[in-house]
């Protein structure tokens, strides 16, 4: 496995940005593995992701940020630095539907998702057996209208004490408070079981059934304060027909939700996602 550094930047577009980035790496004897850039013409924005091999690289990982900071400052860059050896710490929140949970656990266990999973939190006890099977600590925190604030406080304590980088709502059916969301900007991923912005809110399968659509969708997005309106990371659809009942949609939707969510989570963990405005750029 290659040990690499990944730099994501965004800044006002100008000439020489690619050259500046590539030079910075070349001068320290780095070998660029992937270099992707994109200009958002409407707003004059430049975004790039650059990944290079650390083998033979003459700047030590711990010194890299310090070396790059002057360049970033000069070019007015927002930037994030990561290493392929980093393993982000991902918490899974789940309610009763456990298909996304199971799917993420299996992918994690098989090495497809390079992260740690320090804990699973649920408002129901059902998922405990899966957590146990994979050896992941499980915390049941029931949520009621009465104890909601208290439950959330407990959740946030757990997430903080476990040093969580990314929260995945793997069919977690409770709405998070604005304070919770604000504490994890671009770090909470939700799976919504419709093709957003169609069928926002509750019971999207029922809505889809009633509207008579011919395709069923699923959408993975970052959670923001506006319900189901955060930046979309990934979407997909499958064909349905008049023969499908709401229950059939639920069943067919499971495969879709698993795949869409796992792609979004994978891309996030590989530091492929950049955000501008309410939109994402996902670099291949």
Q: What does the binding site for a copy of itself look like in residue numbers (CB under 8 A)?
A: 14-19, 21-23, 25-26, 29-39, 41, 99, 102, 106, 110, 112, 133, 195-199, 211-215, 217, 231-237, 241-243, 245, 251, 255, 259, 278-282, 284
In whole angstroms, how close is the CB of 50 to a copy of itself at the nearest point?
A: 8
- Cα–Cα dist 126/141, whole Å: 12
| Of residues 6 and 159, the one with the C-beta less far from a copy of itself | 6
In whole angstroms, how close is the CB of 122 to a copy of itself at the nearest point?
A: 17
Q: Which residues of 213-248 are buried (b: 16+ CB within 10 A; e: fewer)?
A: beebbbbbbbbbeeebebbbbbbbbeebeeebeeee
In whole angstroms, how close is the CB of 29 to a copy of itself at the nearest point?
A: 6
| Of residues 144 and 243, the one with the C-beta less far from a copy of itself | 243
**How many CA atoms lie less than 13 Å away from 178 in the CB half-sphere?**
2
| Of residues 91 and 264, the one with the C-beta less far from a copy of itself | 264
| Of residues 33 and 71, the one with the C-beta less far from a copy of itself | 33
- Cα–Cα dist 9/112, whole Å: 26
Longest CA pairwise span in the chain (Å): 63
In whole angstroms, how close is the CB of 106 to a copy of itself at the nearest point?
A: 6
Residue reference for tokens 């809505």: 207
Give SS3 for 107: helix
Closest CA to 262 of 150, 127, 107: 107
- Cα–Cα dist 206/18, whole Å: 48
| Of residues 150 and 247, the one with the C-beta less far from a copy of itself | 247
The one catalytic residue in 13, 53, 126, 228 is 228
In whole angstroms, how close is the CB of 166 to a copy of itself at the nearest point?
A: 20
Query: What percentage of the chain's residues is helix, strand, coil (to nearest 5)?
Result: 35, 30, 35
Concerning whether 228 is annotated as a catalytic residue, the answer is yes
> Cis (ω within 30 of 0) for the bond into 25?
no
What amino acid positions are annotated as catalytic residues? 228
């Amino acid at each position: 496995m290659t040990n690499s550094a990944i730099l994501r930047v965004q800044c006002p577009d100008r000439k020489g940005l690619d050259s500046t980035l590539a030079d910075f790496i070349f001068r320290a004897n780095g070998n660029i593995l992937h270099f992707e850039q994109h200009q958002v013409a409407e707003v004059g924005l430049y975004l790039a992701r650059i990944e290079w091999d650390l083998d033979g690289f003459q700047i030590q990982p711990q010194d890299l940020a310090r070396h790059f900071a002057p360049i970033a400052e000069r070019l007015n860059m927002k930037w994030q630095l990561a290493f392929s050896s980093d393993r982000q710490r991902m918490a899974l929140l789940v309610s009763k539907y456990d298909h996304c949970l199971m799917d993420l656990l299996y992918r994690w266990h098989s090495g497809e998702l390079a992260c740690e999973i320090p804990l699973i939190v649920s408002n129901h006890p059902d998922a405990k057996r899966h957590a146990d099977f994979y050896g992941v600590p499980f915390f049941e925190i029931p949520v009621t209208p009465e104890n909601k604030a208290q439950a959330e406080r407990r959740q946030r304590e757990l997430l903080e004490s476990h040093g969580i980088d990314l929260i995945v709502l793997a069919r977690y059916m409770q709405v998070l408070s604005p304070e919770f969301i604000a504490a994890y900007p671009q770090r909470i991923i939700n799976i919504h079981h419709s093709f957003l912005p169609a069928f926002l809110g509750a019971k999207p399968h029922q809505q889809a059934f009633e509207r008579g659509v011919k395709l069923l969708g699923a959408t993975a997005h970052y959670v923001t304060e506006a319900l189901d309106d955060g930046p979309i990371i990934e979407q997909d659809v499958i064909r349905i027909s008049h023969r499908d009942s709401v229950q059939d949609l639920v069943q067919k939707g499971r495969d879709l939700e698993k795949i869409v969510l796992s792609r979004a989570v994978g891309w996030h963990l590989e530091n492929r996602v950049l955000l501008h405005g309410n939109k994402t750029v996902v670099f291949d």
